Amino acid sequence: MEVEHSNCWTHLTDKTNLEIRLINQNFSNEAPLFNSYIIGKSNYLSDIKEFVKGIKHHESVNDVLKLEADENAFATNLSLIKKGSISNIIHKDDGIIMEHEIRDGIEAWSIIIDKENIPLLKEDIENNESSVLLKFRILEREKLFNILSSLTPNEALSLYLAVDKGFLDFPHKVSTKDLAEIMGVSSATFVTHLRKAIKKIALKNYHEIISYKE
């Protein structure tokens, strides 16, 4: 789906050459804040400078916990305000975020969600202050499988369990020992599979944004 959210930090990419991707989130349903780890690039240094300047003072950003930037790219860990965010709506409606890309002020999301919750998700986004749902498309299962095609069966299973059982939430809702028992492997082996899965998806996003050309 594609969303325009004028009160969100993502709107800072409007009318720029910036391309940004979400790498990971630490999200807890109880806390008022959440963390987003993002990477971005632009062919113009001025875009990055203006973005870095603007994000430090944006109303949707609680704090910039870490920021590294050079002439063409940057990486940052943002502490974000949950209220009014699209991430909060997705989590509230039991969605799982697979990919998130921001370009030209537009947020593009690929998520997994039960069919029964789709009307609620669309309604919540449309009723959210300052957000406009521009496009919504349901992908076939084959498309979802293609997103995860680079993972081995054990890596895919470890990632699924980590998301489904709440290990990637903050704080963790389950331990690696519990998930390892479900897979029938040791905790160390489970962590190895999960780290490889997350690294592959992160590298896929990284290489796509670095190699992107208009």
For 26-54, what is the mean pLDDT?
90
212 within a domain of the structure (yes/no): no
Per-residue pLDDT tens digits for 68-123 = 988 889 999 999 999 999 999 999 998 888 789 999 999 999 888 888 899 999 99
What is the reported pTM? 0.68
65 within a domain of the structure (yes/no): yes
107 within a domain of the structure (yes/no): yes
For 165-192, what is the mean pLDDT?
87
Do residues 152 and 131 both lie within one domain?
no
Residue 160: give the domain boundaries: 148-202
Do residues 89 and 114 both lie within one domain?
yes
Do residues 110 and 23 both lie within one domain?
yes
Instruction: Give the end of a domain, one of 140, 166, 181.
Output: 140
Instruction: Give the end of a domain, one of 140, 158, 176.
Output: 140
Do residues 71 and 106 both lie within one domain?
yes
Instruction: Report pLDDT for 210.
Output: 53
> At 207, is the pLDDT very low, low, confident or very high (cuts 50, 70, 90)?
low
For the chain, the three-class secondary structure string (H helix, E strand, C coil) is CEEEECCCHHHHHCCCCCEEEEEEEEECCCCCEEEEEEEEECCCHHHHHHHHHHHCCCCCEEEEEEEEECCCEEEEEEEEECCCCHHHHHHHCCCEEEEEEEECCEEEEEEECCHHHHHHHHHHHHHCCCEEEEECCCCCHHHHHHHCCCCCHHHHHHHHHHHHCCCCECCCCCCHHHHHHHHCCCHHHHHHHHHHHHHHHHHHHHHHHHHCCC
Do residues 60 and 86 both lie within one domain?
yes
Do residues 132 and 153 both lie within one domain?
no
Do residues 162 and 127 both lie within one domain?
no
Do residues 72 and 14 both lie within one domain?
yes
209 within a domain of the structure (yes/no): no
Q: Number of folded domains in the chain?
A: 2
